[in-house]
Structures are given as C-alpha cells and as structure tokens.
Amino acid sequence: MENASKALLMAAGVLLGIMIISLAVYLFANFGGTSSQIHANIEENQIAQFNSQFTTYVGKDNVTIHDVISMASLATQNNQSYELPHQAANENTNYIAVILNGNSIELGYKEGQTAAQRKDEIEKKYNKLISDEVNSISDENGLPKYTVSVDISTVTKRVYRVTCNKIT
C-alpha cells in the first residue's frame, strides 16, 4: 500500500509538471503572437504617418509651388537617407519621385558629394523653381495652383510617386 501511494504522488507530480510546462508554452506562443501583431501595427502607423505628408495635398485646390517644393524636399530627404540614386518612379523601392508638369524635380543620392554640396544643389534647384513661378505671376491670379495625385506602392505600401500639374 505504501508503494502504491508513493507511485500515485509521483504520477501526480509528473502530471502537474507537464501541465505547468504546457501552460508556459501556451503563454509564450500567445504573447509572441501579440508582440508581432503590435510590431505590425506600429509599422503600419509609421507608414500611414509617412504617407500623410504627401496625401494631405491630394484634392486640395490651393496647392502652390511652395507646397510642391516641400513635397520634393521630403522626397529628396527620403531618397538620400536610403542612399538611392536618382531614378524613375518604381513601386519596388523606397525611392520617391516628384513629377512637376512632366519633369522630375526630386533628387537622389550622389556618390562622392558632401552633404554641403547636396544641400547647395537642392537649394539652387528649388529656388530656381520658386523664382520661375513668382516671375510668372499675373496681377489678378497670384501664384499658380496645382493638382496633386499620389501613387502608393502595393509592395512597400509607401508613396512612390507624387504628380503635380498646373491648373490652367
């Protein structure tokens, strides 16, 4: 009898140990899934926040050259932070192209240029665009207005092309 009660206690201990291990495995798997879901949600929010810098201009009728230059500057910063050379819009990369009246106005990363040289090139290009627009002002209309459309990649879920056309 004494051996049978010890055997029952040992069996109960083994079953209790298996239950505790099973519970630990379940909790680990469950919390791991929750963590990955939280990470995915954070990434989605970051992409949506990034895209909103460009999509806020879509559908507005008061977009000026200053807004277009702001979008081009954001795109240039993005392209240079990823060290992407100037290229055509491609939804498979993180490169962002800004098209103004059919011409690409954003810049990409240039090998061998210092940060100061890149900054100088950007300022010259964008200042010229602004001065051209200011010089074209007619007395009654003010600064020309633009329509903005945005293309979002199905691959990266990020904006990859911003198209701005002058309203005539």
Q: What is the pLDDT of residues 100-142, one digit of tens each?
A: 999 999 988 888 888 888 888 888 998 998 888 888 776 666 7
How far CA 37 is from CA of 2, 24, 30, 97, 126, in Å, comes to 53, 20, 11, 31, 41
- 3 state SS of 159: strand
pLDDT for 160 equals 95
What percent of the chain has pLDDT above 90? 49
pLDDT for 3 equals 83
Rounded CA separation 67/80 (Å): 20
More confident residue, 33 or 71: 71
pLDDT for 72 equals 94
Contact assessment for residue 97 and residue 75, using Cβ atoms and an 8 Å cutoff: yes
Q: What are phi and psi of 34, to 5 degrees?
A: -65, -40
Buried/exposed code over 36-66 (b: 16+ C-beta within 10 A; e: otherwise):
eeeeeeeeeeeeeebeeebbebeeeeebebe
The pTM for the full model equals 0.75
Other Cβ atoms less than 10 A from the Cβ of 74: the count is 18
Q: Is the C-alpha dihedral spanning 40, 46, 51, 56 positive or negative?
A: positive
- Which residue in the block uniquely carries the two structure tokens 């633009």? 146
Q: What is the mean pLDDT of residues 50-79?
A: 93
pLDDT higher than threshold 80 for residue 17: yes
Q: What is the mean pLDDT of residues 15-32?
A: 88
Rounded CA separation 154/168 (Å): 32
pLDDT for 147 equals 95
Region for 142 from its dihedrals, namely left if φ exceeds 0, alpha if ψ lies in -120 to 50, beta otherwise: left
More confident residue, 36 or 155: 155
Give the contacts of 84 (CB within 8 A, at least 6 positions apart): 93, 94, 95, 108, 109
pLDDT for 149 equals 96
